[in-house]
Amino acid sequence: MKINATNFRSFGISIALGLFIAVSGFSQSNEEKELFFSYFDDSYVECRGDFLIRAEALNAQYEGVKIANLQVPSDSDNELFVDVCYIPAKNNKTRLLILSSGIHGIEGFVGNAVMDLFMENFVTDELLDETGILLIHGMNPYGFKYYRRVTENNVDLNRNSDIDPELYNTVNAGYGELIDFLNPTKPVKVGSMKNRFFVVTAIRKIIQASLPVLRQAVLQGQYQYPDGLYFGGNVQEPQISRIGAAIKKVGSDYDLILNIDLHTGYGERGKLHFFPNPVEDPVLKKQTEDLFEGYQIDWGDGADFYTITGDFSGYIGKLLPGKTHISMTFEYGTMDSQKTMGSIKSIHNMIIENQGVHYGYKKSKDQKKTEQRFLEMYYPSDPAWRIQIMEQSNEVFEKLFIR
Ligand SMILES: [Zn+2]
């Protein structure tokens, strides 16, 4: 643990944390908990500021650092940037770590906190000896700023990333059969009969089709319904091309690529889950398991298995063929969506949020309630949750990067 009183940050700690500590009666490591909590910010602009300050500090400390601000074209906002910071390996360019966040905009708050933790404590001379670091912050700044998962074009960037434009012709037939269920076309009324009986309707569908079949149809990604959930786009979104160019340029110097992409929302509440890309090569699988030794890796061969198209980690592998590529999605669980009930509630939150954006709300309280639930699902306000996931992140980073 490398945290001490001198680097303790004195601001950004809310009354909520004070209450949490008072109620829970912690005393031994209050300072550490307060520190972990202080990494979180509540707006895109503040989070971006955190990242740029840290990037500048690394720039001052190390040779050859490059910082780039990739502007994302927008019809409504000229202040949307994906920020990139590259710190080259000092001696041998053996490994490249790509740490990325915010591909699902609203998940960027947690991504920002975890990146901030990494940048403050884990970029060291020892690590940089043979490891280069490429940090990519806020890959979907529109969604980050306006509290959506998707881009201004309603595109899920984690279904939009590929080097082959054939992706956009993919037909997900199962999705089409669920279109009325997934994409209602009326203004949202949270207390409507349909919403109150959503769980019943969903369970009926699960009985008819089975959960794995439904999960696959819904989550795989779709390219036919631009207003729908999990829309992967009809073309590559501009930031994916630009991020791809940066990865290709930097990655070409290294033999081994490890990418960690930060997400929230899926899985057991308060737990960091490890989702690798499906790996067939036993050697690569072994390398991944060795690297994350002691942690449970979810290889996706259980009952909750599903595949997706146009995912970002697969894209990195395609950009850098011939390299050893280990990819790991860090997924911080928020509402027990590994269970049937949790997954129903989470898809319901997504459906009404998307419906509200496209078809409006019956009353302002419907909007307030919908947006609040959506934010809670990707960025829980509970200080205990935030501290818990930072403790886990810190522990994993210690194991991975301090040997
Ligand atoms: Zn995500």
Question: Which residues sit with Cβ closer than 5 angstroms to ligand 1, an ion?
Answer: 104, 107, 263
pLDDT for 24 equals 56
Please name which of 332, 331, 329, 325 lies closest in space to residue 285, comparing C-alpha atoms.
Answer: 325
Residue identified by tokens 């198209």 is 309
Q: Domain for residue 43, yes or no? A: yes
Verify that 186 and 300 share a domain, yes or no: no
Q: Domain for residue 224, yes or no? A: no
Q: Are 338 and 268 in contact (CB under 8 A)?
A: yes
Residue 7 in tokens: 């680097």
User: Rounded to the nearest whole angstrom, what is the distance from the C-alpha of residue 125 to the centroid of ligand 1?
Assistant: 31
Verify that 37 and 110 share a domain, yes or no: yes
Those residues whose C-beta lies under 8 Å from the C-beta of residue 282, and which sit 6 or more positions away, are none
Residue 58 in tokens: 């690394």
Q: Domain for residue 389, yes or no? A: yes
Verify that 44 and 64 share a domain, yes or no: yes
pLDDT for 1 equals 36
Largest CA distance in the chain: 64
User: Rounded to the nearest whole angstrom, what is the distance from the C-alpha of residue 91 to the centroid of ligand 1?
Assistant: 34
Looking at residue 9, the DSSP 8-state letter turns out to be -
Q: Domain for residue 166, yes or no? A: no
Verify that 81 and 211 share a domain, yes or no: no
Verify that 146 and 39 share a domain, yes or no: yes
Q: Domain for residue 225, yes or no? A: no
Radius of gyration over every alpha carbon of the chain, rounded to an integer in angstroms: 21
Verify that 197 and 283 share a domain, yes or no: no
Q: How far apart are CA 346 and CA 114, in angstroms?
A: 23
pLDDT for 207 equals 86
Verify that 286 and 393 share a domain, yes or no: yes
User: Rounded to the nearest whole angstrom, what is the distance from the C-alpha of residue 90 to the centroid of ligand 1?
Assistant: 32
Q: What's the residue count for the chain?
A: 403
Those residues whose C-beta lies under 8 Å from the C-beta of residue 318, and which sit 6 or more positions away, are 162, 163, 164
Verify that 107 and 255 share a domain, yes or no: yes
Q: How far apart are CA 140 and CA 335, in angstroms?
A: 23
User: What residues make up the domain containing 305?
Assistant: 5-161+232-334+380-401
Verify that 147 and 210 share a domain, yes or no: no
User: Rounded to the nearest whole angstrom, what is the distance from the C-alpha of residue 329 to the centroid of ligand 1?
Assistant: 9
Q: Domain for residue 177, yes or no? A: yes
pLDDT for 2 equals 36
pLDDT for 337 equals 86
pLDDT for 309 equals 93
How confident is the chain (403 residues) per 10-residue block, as mean pLDDT? 36 50 60 94 97 98 98 97 98 97 98 98 97 98 98 98 97 91 95 94 88 86 96 98 97 97 96 90 93 91 78 96 95 92 93 98 98 98 97 97 82
Verify that 37 and 136 share a domain, yes or no: yes
User: Rounded to the nearest whole angstrom, what is the distance from the C-alpha of residue 18 to the centroid of ligand 1?
Assistant: 30
Q: Domain for residue 168, yes or no? A: no
Domain count for the chain, please give it: 2
User: Rounded to the nearest whole angstrom, what is the distance from the C-alpha of residue 278 to the centroid of ligand 1?
Assistant: 17
Please name which of 42, 12, 14 lies closest in space to residue 112, comparing C-alpha atoms.
Answer: 42
Q: How far apart are CA 93 and CA 249, in angstroms?
A: 14
Verify that 290 and 388 share a domain, yes or no: yes
pLDDT for 171 equals 94
CATH, residue 241: 3.40.630.10
User: Rounded to the nearest whole angstrom, what is the distance from the C-alpha of residue 375 to the centroid of ligand 1?
Assistant: 13
Verify that 123 and 33 share a domain, yes or no: yes
Q: Are 119 and 56 in contact (CB under 8 A)?
A: no
